[in-house]
């Protein structure tokens, strides 16, 4: 078993966007409960970690943005945009969410852990440098990547985002730099409106944004092909020093906000490919963080699939969510019809050997 860390904290359940809001504490509660049941989570490392301070948030966000979110502390509900609400402890939870990613990266580079899964709320990938947006207060992945550039001197970080929605905030944070490569697979056109295949970054960042916009309805076989034929080859060519994954389970079958058809098998396969890429190019340095996902069963099974692959438990008995050898064989050779992938490959070919 690899040394896989799980980042979790009950403070993440204290961010309350309001009654009936899809981004509810139950999304994490079902995962935490599953890990606590029968000692399932007991083989994982549970590091101590704390919140980041304003200086770290400012690596990616404006002073005004930090001031606005921090000002919600202690207030019952504050609307930051039409669907992004903060409650009394949301700012604290958001600082701890970023803290989880930063601590995970630090420990991965110190060699204390092999990889990590940050089971955090609020999510981050829609948060812009200047604004909270789309259920996200701070951009967890973007702040953590900036921290890794500044504190660890990293020159190449690959961010793979498989949430149903395009991570506009993450793309915008890095579209002019070659220090990060942002690769997103998402439904398009759809919320938030960004993410066409023609958005490739600019100046030094040209080619360092790769978008795979999908029409909707895609499942395990299509996603497997995307990872086999595009994500892995781009990772091999970019040779990142660290891979971060923005993991959304809203691509799973039955999600109330989406119509993708991915199952826990597909999630396991995508994670397996990222583990493989990290092992090949960056000594296994991989951190996965939770973004969206609104179907509670998919949250639970998807998380177990991710953890099984990160830890290398998936091939062993006793782990409840496992990819069968037969399904893995099918996914490895997927030739699913996916014109959107073919178009994305044609565009990416200008920059990458795909």
Integer Cα distance of 104 and 115 in angstroms: 8
Q: Work out how close the CB of 190 gets to Zn ion at its nearest, in angstroms, rounded to a whole number.
A: 9
Q: Which of 15, 126, 165, 166 is catalytic?
A: 126
Could you confirm whether 126 is annotated as catalytic?
yes
CA 334 to chain centre: 24
CB-closest chain residue to Zn ion: 292
**Of 292, 295, 302, 308, which one interacts with Zn ion (CB under 5 A)?**
292
| DSSP class per residue in 37-77 | GGGGGGGSB--------HHHHTTTS-HHHHHHHHTTTT-S-
Does 27 engage in binding with Zn ion (CB under 5 A)? no
Closest separation in Å from C-beta 121 to Zn ion = 13
What is the pattern of x (binds Zn ion, CB under 5 A) and - over residues 241-270?
A: -------x-x--------------------
Q: Are 193 and 187 in contact (CB under 8 A)?
A: no
> Minimum distance between the CB of residue 251 and Zn ion, rounded to whole angstroms?
8
Name the one range near Zn ion by CB under 5 A: 149-157, 268-276, 286-294, 313-321.
286-294
- What is d(CA 16, CA 2) in angstroms, rounded to the nearest whole number? 34
The answer to whether 23 contacts Zn ion (rule: CB under 5 A) is: no
- Whether residue 73 contacts residue 92, with contact meaning beta carbons closer than 8 Å, is answered with yes
CB of 71 to Zn ion, least distance (A): 26
Contact 143, 169 (CB under 8 A): no
CB of 291 to Zn ion, least distance (A): 6
CB of 128 closer than 8 Å to CB of 151: no
Region of residue 340 (phi > 0: left; psi between -120 and 50: alpha; otherwise: beta): alpha
Q: Identify which of residues 5 and 262 has a Cβ nearer to Zn ion in the complex.
A: 262
In the bound state with Zn ion, the residue whose beta carbon lies nearer, of 49 and 117, is: 117
For residues 203, 209, 215, 221, the Cα torsion angle rounded to the nearest 10 degrees is 150
Site string for Zn ion, 161-190 (x = CB under 5 A): --xxx-------------------------
Residue numbers at the binding site for Zn ion (CB under 5 A): 163-165, 248, 250, 292
Catalytic residues: 126
């Amino acid at each position: 078993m690899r040394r896989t860390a799980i980042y979790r904290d009950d403070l993440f359940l204290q961010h309350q966007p309001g009654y009936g809001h899809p981004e509810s504490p139950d999304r994490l509660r079902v995962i935490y409960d599953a890990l606590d049941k029968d000692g399932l989570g007991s083989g994982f490392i549970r590091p101590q970690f704390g919140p980041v301070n304003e200086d770290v948030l400012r690596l990616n966000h404006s002073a005004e943005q930090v001031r606005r979110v921090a000002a919600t502390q202690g207030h019952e509900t504050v609307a930051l945009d039409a669907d992004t609400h903060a409650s009394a402890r949301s700012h604290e939870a958001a600082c701890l969410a970023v803290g989880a990613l930063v601590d995970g990266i630090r420990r991965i580079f110190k060699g204390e852990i092999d990889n990590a899964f940050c089971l955090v709320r609020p999510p981050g990938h829609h948060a812009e440098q200047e604004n909270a947006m789309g259920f996200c207060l701070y951009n967890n992945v973007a702040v953590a990547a900036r921290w890794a550039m500044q504190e660890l001197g990293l020159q190449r970080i690959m961010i793979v985002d498989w949430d149903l929605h395009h991570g506009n905030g993450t793309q915008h944070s890095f579209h002019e730099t070659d220090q990060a490569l942002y690769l997103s697979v998402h439904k398009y056109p759809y919320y938030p409106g960004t993410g066409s295949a023609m958005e490739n970054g600019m100046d030094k960042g040209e080619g360092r944004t790769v978008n795979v916009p999908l029409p909707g309805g895609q499942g395990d076989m299509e996603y497997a092909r995307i990872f086999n034929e595009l994500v892995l080859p781009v990772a091999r060519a970019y040779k990142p020093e660290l891979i971060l994954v923005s993991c959304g389970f809203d691509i799973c079958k039955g999600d109330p906000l989406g119509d993708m058809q991915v199952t826990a098998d597909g999630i396991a396969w995508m994670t397996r490919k990222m583990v493989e890429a990290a092992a090949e190019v960056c000594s296994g340095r991989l951190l996965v963080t939770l973004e969206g996902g609104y179907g509670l069963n998919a949250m639970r099974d998807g998380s177990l699939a991710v953890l099984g692959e990160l830890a290398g438990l998936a091939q062993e008995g006793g782990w409840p969510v496992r990819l069968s050898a037969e399904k893995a064989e099918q996914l490895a050779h997927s030739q699913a019809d996916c014109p959107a992938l073919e178009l994305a490959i044609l565009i990416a070919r200008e920059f990458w050997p795909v």
